[in-house]
Chain A
């Protein structure tokens, strides 16, 4: 495919069953994670060559951000979208100018002892949460780079963090399937959600596996989704099924267990669409898929097969385009609209 431009103005109402790949751009190394910037100008992707790649959606113009000396696992933006934050397996959190023509780090700090897996910016746009293999969740001031507070209590690697829309709470999910709710102000863990189904210990192989790989909330704050895998009969051989556990926020009741029959894969990312459906990015031995679930059914109402295994996903601010990061070194922009609209 050539490098088409993507026009968001043409589409209005999402039609998941019409999802198709509208654009794709290549890098020199397999891709892992991806994010749109808040203004919807760019898509960023993290690559196995430890770089972050920026593509301009309107032109496909590509720019490399290189400063980490290990893989970048998480990408986030300040509220105004002008500052890019990246973090990864070197434990560093690095600040960049989002639209820089020649990107250079504005600030670099050793944020965690070990890998950083996840970042999430608070609704105020001025603070960012990070979570890592040191079992800690941390809150940082984006403007100053200062550590505001650490949140300790997880007993395994923290794979995902999420700032609650009310600006008062943080959520974090770990390898063992525990989701902790933190008071940002006091640092106290005020509730836990049980997503242990997403964790497996395989005694024969001697490994822990799974964890809360994806964490997202519905737009109204009523539901919390925890994504990952279950039925891991052979973790080392990648034999496991994808699973998303959907909890009621208030009662903590498990509302739904979203599955994808026949797929051997993991749900790497979830995104709640404002129209009420949930999107899951699913990759594994079965290939790469976008899965679309409605709250009232465990099975997806639509399964969109991507050309290659998927490892990361983000929903565009216009709620119509989906970016996916792929092993075949390609970033793909899919649109939830019929072709030629």
Chain B
């Protein structure tokens, strides 16, 4: 349904350019942000749990990361190194992360039975298989709705990208545009977040007072789900303009820029830390690209090496700043890569036996769940899929995945009711 409120006023243009460009709201976009058990929601908001997801786009090889199999027919050229979890080895491409692993945990038995990029990503980020029959909100949207504090001024669902940003995605399904992701990047404030030149505080105040007065009068007789969503987004955009420095990594020290690395991913991790520190409930950073059908090993050497130090630095900072108990950290992909090495030194899509890193809030420190066989071709213990993981992520941050959202009077489950959390990894 298309929103009809494009009045083309200066104020609305500012807001719309920021994240109302896709204000086409779903029919159920009530956007009141309430769990059916409000007391739980209030408790969560007080504790300010957060989720950090690193999306290894294209499909990180589990053999070149979390579940190496050196010396086997599938092992490839990289060796395994010991991690800070006794007896647990990871790829030699991860020397820095290996030293932080005791703060985190691994699930080495993921079998999504899905080798398609789009379907795999959907399963891993919504916890449900993609079907034409229904669309489900992504983890970030669910998190934003479940964990955001009432009246929170910053968006609750932020994707950090290499380039610019400012757009709002259509990834919240029936939760509505308020919980859809906003993309920021480049270590700079979002596009169009600078107030118009010449606009004084006094005149801005008058403009807003007039707008609010007209909104209230309009709402008395013609309030709808869409008007509520629009007003909420507009107010959030105004708050974001006031807090644009939150997105500005130039405020961080030169030493931190050096520690994280000046390449895109390093800067994205630094921005992620900044956003988490400012209480954003869901931050996702994408590192690309791992879809290595060709020359898997030189590309993983290049990519994983780039990932390792900034990620390990981010984990260490989260620990040092006392945020680990409140921050769930996840490193996921849409799938893993084939154990069999193809004739171009590549590995292909593989949803059958791969790994996800998960740690921090609600997760046992140093837990390693599940196993694959000697050369990584099968899960041999505790097989799980995207549904189990989705439940686990929510439960780890204190959200009951079996609870429901009240969407326009309908109770809609937060997660797939047919599956459950991985209890043994939870703290």
* Residue ranges of A at the interface with B (Cβ–Cβ < 8 Å): 29-30, 48-50, 69-71, 88-90, 115, 133, 204-209, 235-238, 283-285, 308-309, 327
Given A206-B288, A238-B346, A29 and B77 contact (CB-CB distance below 8 Å): no
**11 interchain pairs (CB within 8 A)?**
A48-B73, A69-B70, A69-B71, A90-B79, A133-B301, A207-B302, A235-B295, A236-B58, A236-B299, A238-B293, A283-B343
B341 contacts the other chain (Cβ, under 8 Å)?
yes
B344 at the interface (CB under 8 A from A): yes
**Nearest B residue to A235, CB-CB:** B294
Q: Are B292 and A309 in contact (CB under 8 A)?
A: no
A29-B73, A70-B78, A90-B79 known; A237-B293 Cβ under 8 A: yes
Nearest CB in chain B: distance from A200 CB, A: 12
Q: Residues 68-98 of chain B: 1 if any A CB is under 8 Å from the residue's CB, otherwise 0? A: 0011010011110000000000000000000
Asked if A205 and B293 sit within 8 Å, CB to CB, the answer is no
Report if B291 contacts A (CB, 8 A).
yes
Please state if B291 and A89 are interface contacts (CB–CB under 8 Å): no
List B337-373 residues whose CB lies under 8 Å from chain A: 341, 343-344, 346
| A50: B residues at CB distance < 8 A | 71, 77
Q: How many residues of B contact A (CB 8 A)?
A: 24
When distances are taken between beta carbons in the complex, the residues of chain A under 8 Å from B70 are 69-70
Name the prevailing secondary structure of the B interface residues: loop
What residues on B are CB-neighbors of A48 within 8 Å? Answer: 73, 76, 341
Given A69-B79, A70-B78: 8 more A-B contacts, CB < 8 Å: A69-B70, A88-B77, A133-B301, A205-B289, A209-B299, A284-B344, A308-B343, A309-B344
Contact assessment for B302 and A208 in the assembled complex, using a CB-CB cutoff below 8 Å: yes
The reply to whether A236 and B292 form a contact with Cβ atoms under 8 Å apart is yes
Residues in B224-283 with C-beta less than 8 Å from chain A? 264
SS of A interface (majority)? loop
A114 to chain B, nearest CB (A): 8
Binding site for A on B (CB under 8 A): 58, 70-71, 73, 76-79, 264, 288-289, 291-295, 299, 301-303, 341, 343-344, 346
Cβ–Cβ < 8 Å partners of B299 in chain A: 207, 209, 235-236
What are the 7 tightest A-B residue pairs by CB atom distance, in nearest-first order?
A238-B294, A89-B77, A327-B343, A71-B77, A205-B289, A309-B343, A70-B77
Is there an interface contact between B77 and A206, defined as CB atoms closer than 8 Å? no
- Cα of A235 to Cα of B295 in the assembled complex, Å: 8
Q: Are B293 and A236 in contact (CB under 8 A)?
A: yes
Contact A236 B291 (CB under 8 A): yes
Residues of A within 8 A of B76 (CB): 48, 71
In the complex, how many angstroms separate the beta carbon of B186 from the nearest chain A beta carbon?
14
Known: A206-B303, A309-B343, A327-B343. A236 touches B78 (CB 8 A): no
Please measure, in the bound complex, the distance between the C-alpha atom of A29 and the C-alpha atom of B346, giving whole angstroms: 15
B301 contacts across to A, CB distance below 8 A:
133
